[in-house]
Amino acid sequence: MSTRNDRIFAGIDIDKMVGLEIGPLDKPLVGRDGRRQIFYADYADRDFLMAQSASDPNVNVNNIPHIDYIIKSPMMDDLGRKFDYIVASHVAEHVPDILGWLHKLANWLTPSGIISLATPDYRYCFDRLRVASKISDVIEAFLENRQRPNPASVYDGFRNAIRFEAAFAWARDCEVGSVDYYYTEAQALSLAKRSLRDYVDCHCWVWTADSFRSAMAELRRLGLTSLNLIECHGPYQNEAEFYIKLQAQ
């Protein structure tokens, strides 16, 4: 039976290829062991990330690695070197302009380089009440060159966030049952208003493997991406994420 790492790194030799991991926090998928050429990127340096996570019981701040590339908005076109692969776990759904983000990552790759992503299937997590993202929303965010989550994404993300576990969904064929919301309507509205002036992090995108596959096919037909979707599969039993591999051409 394949493991999570098997799925993420299928077709990628992390001991021989040069890689970039985005947003590792305290659980990097690829560890530094002297043999590997792995670099880490995040929105801030290690000291800032440690301070931000100091009160989070789910984060071991001592395991946060040195950040090689601090990625600010708007993202730079060039990092000064190319990578054979780029990997990110539960990052893509937070990106305000998913298509623009993928374009930037493609610029950082060597020819035939691979982008490998793990991202939640909204049916099996707190996004369960939301509706799968539409291709029109992807295009709008791209044409706007959106640099932070818009009020609609923020309100929808917080208003419809519920306590919902993957194992519960699998056991009951995604039945929702009674709903326990994390935020009130008023709190969601307040955060949406705040997003007009500040960056409010949220899940900007909600997908299934099928809906993401369909979106990428349409974006290719429209000539809006040259990335080739080589894998898109999952989730697997009692899990809440699916796996994406895109290849530069």
DSSP state for residue 94 in the 8-state scheme: G
DSSP assignment of 145-208 equals T--S--HHHHHHHHHT-B---HHHHHHTTT---S--BSS-HHHHHHHHHHTTTS--------B-
Number of separate domains in the chain = 1
pLDDT in tens, 210-241: 999 999 999 999 999 999 999 999 999 999 99
What pLDDT is attached to residue 173?
A: 65
Q: Which pLDDT value is given to residue 174?
A: 61
Q: CATH number of the domain that 210 lies in?
A: 3.40.50.150
Do residues 244 and 119 make contact, with C-beta atoms less than 8 angstroms apart? yes
Q: Can you give the pLDDT at residue 35?
A: 82
Name the residue range of residue 27's domain: 4-247
* pLDDT at res. 167: 80
* pLDDT lower than 70: segments of the chain: 1, 173-177
**216: Cβ–Cβ under 8 A, 6 or more apart, which residues?**
225, 227, 229, 232, 246
Which residues are CB-neighbours of 25 under 8 A, at least 6 positions away?
42, 49, 53, 59, 64
pLDDT of residue 113: 97
The whole-model pTM stands at 0.94
Q: What is the pLDDT of residue 179?
A: 83
How far apart CA 177 and CA 175 sit, in angstroms, is 6
CB atoms within 10 A of CB 104: 18
Give me the pLDDT at residue 176, please: 66
